[in-house]
Amino acid sequence: MGSITLSKVSKSFGEAKVIPSIDLEIQDGEFVVFVGPSGCGKSTLLRLIAGLEDVSGGQILIDGKDVTQKAPAQRGLAMVFQSYALYPHMSVRNNIAFPLKMAKVDKSVIDKKVRDAAGILNLTDYLERRPSQLSGGQRQRVAIGRAIVREPSAFLFDEPLSNLDAALRGTMRLEISELHNQLKTTMIYVTHDQIEAMTMADKIVVLNRGNIEQVGSPLELYSRPRNLFVAGFIGSPR
């Protein structure tokens, strides 16, 4: 569970063709990074997969099933937003439990899932705190916990670390990679940061103006960039 196929997916906003046509195969369990400069369409592509935007054309398959017309909640995916999307007035426990409460899951099941997620994320001792009483890294883990309890077939991250400082970004990078090793669930991770792409990805998708320039492992892109754009982007930190 967790393969995602995009077939001729396109998106326009009014006259602007932000994504002309994308074909992409993501295998179950892969850690895929969408990387590219600001404005190239990374977030739009992720939102199309999540169902937060409607495609203008093409199809999206999850585990072989066409979900193109399905609502976000019916796709079995979890979007991890930046930590500032937490509810400030709720405890960590209630922030993590929120999607399950909305889905009217039994309290005993919710309690167990929150306990398990907190264990994985080292938040067990912080469940009764408010987000304001946590560090930036802990807050980001709560945002991830809220996704974990839904047991999604894939996690979608949109620049989750961009509002953290450099040292914390390094730590969180490792934590998210470790989480992937533990859960072995498909993850799609959007970033404009080449270091995140090179260190976290099984597969990197390099985007430029809504088109895929190249797809490959970090080593492939580094050693055999298909063109100057990829070489420049992967080669030079900016």
211 binds Mg ion (CB under 5 A): no
Question: In whole angstroms, what is the distance from residue 41 CA to residue 24 CA?
Answer: 15
Contacts 24+ apart (CB under 8 A), 221-224: 222/198
- The nearest distance, CB 13 to ligand ADP, in angstroms, is 3
- The nearest distance, CB 195 to ligand ADP, in angstroms, is 17
Question: In whole angstroms, what is the distance from residue 167 CA to residue 176 CA?
Answer: 15
CB nearer to Mg ion: give 190 or 230.
Answer: 190
CB nearer to Mg ion: give 96 or 158.
Answer: 158
CB nearer to ligand ADP: give 43 or 163.
Answer: 43
Structure token digits, residue 88: 């400030």
CB nearer to ligand ADP: give 13 or 84.
Answer: 13
The listed partner (Mg ion, ligand ADP, none) that binds 39, CB under 5 to 8 Å by sort, is ligand ADP
Angstrom distances, CA of residue 149 to CA of 58, 153, 183, 209: 31, 12, 12, 35
**Chain center to CA of 29:** 13
Strands (DSSP E) found in the chain: 4-13, 16-26, 31-35, 57-62, 65-66, 77-80, 154-158, 186-191, 203-208, 211-216
CB nearer to Mg ion: give 39 or 119.
Answer: 39
Site for Mg ion in 30-89 (CB under 5 A): 43
Binding mask 22-61 for ligand ADP (x = CB under 6 A): --------------x-xxxxxxx-----------------
Residue type, 93: R
Using CB under 6 A, pick the residue from 13, 54, 111, 227 that binds ligand ADP: 13
Structure token digits, residue 169: 């970004």
- The nearest distance, CB 38 to Mg ion, in angstroms, is 7
**Chain center to CA of 25:** 16
Please tell me the count of residues contacting ligand ADP according to CB under 6 A: 11
- The nearest distance, CB 53 to ligand ADP, in angstroms, is 7
Kind of pairing between the strands at 186-191 and 154-158: parallel
The listed partner (Mg ion, ligand ADP, none) that binds 38, CB under 5 to 8 Å by sort, is ligand ADP
User: What is the binding site for Mg ion (CB under 5 A)?
Assistant: 43
User: What is the binding site for ligand ADP (CB under 6 A)?
Assistant: 13, 16, 18, 36, 38-44
